[in-house]
Amino acid sequence: MRTLKSECTRRLLLVPYRLVDFERELALYFFWHNSHRPHAWLKGATPDEIYHRRRPASRAPRFEPRRQWPRRSPCASPRTLIRGQPGVRLQLSVQFLADRRHLPLVTLKRFALKLSNRIHFLVTGLPVCSLPLDFR
């Protein structure tokens, strides 16, 4: 109940007056809560991943942005599979479910420059996009 209050109803700028609109907001929130929001109690999994017995996204191989990441070092933790080679550039994408600012959908993707952006970078030395995350 506390999560519903703090993450849904208190974050709405305008609480819908009509019952149908309020039920629609609650349905959107419950969909986001069960399918996109990781839960600490479920060790980073979502309720849908547990219910449908899918591999949690938190257990999938991850990107490693650090170029000198020591794979075989005993202090390199957490022990997890790495997707691709260490030192990859990443792009953070934040979208919102049904344009509701309190229901974020966050994804992390490998950053790929478009050909026109690469040419611009080679000519000017300045990046075009300011969103990529680079941890070098």
Percent of the residues in the chain that have a pLDDT greater than 70, as a whole number: 73
Task: Domain of residue 36: give its range.
Answer: 1-59
How confident is the model over 109-131, as a mean pLDDT?
58
Write 104-113 long-range contacts (CB < 8 A, 24+): 105/32, 105/36, 108/63, 110/63, 110/84
Residues 6 and 49 in one domain: yes
Residues 1 and 52 in one domain: yes
Q: Is residue 72, in this structure, part of any structural domain at all?
A: no
Q: End of a domain among 43, 59, 75?
A: 59
Residues 55 and 1 in one domain: yes
Q: For residue 130, name the pLDDT band (cuts at 50, 70, 90).
A: very low
Structure tokens at 124: 């000017």
At 85-105, the pLDDT tens digits run 778 888 888 899 998 888 999
Burial of 79 (0-12, 13-18, 19+ CB in 10 A): exposed
Residues 2 and 53 in one domain: yes
Total domains in the chain come to 2
Residues 93 and 54 in one domain: no
Predicted confidence at residue 29, as pLDDT, reads 92
Q: Is residue 53, in this structure, part of any structural domain at all?
A: yes
At 7-48, the pLDDT tens digits run 777 777 677 889 999 899 899 999 999 999 999 899 889 999
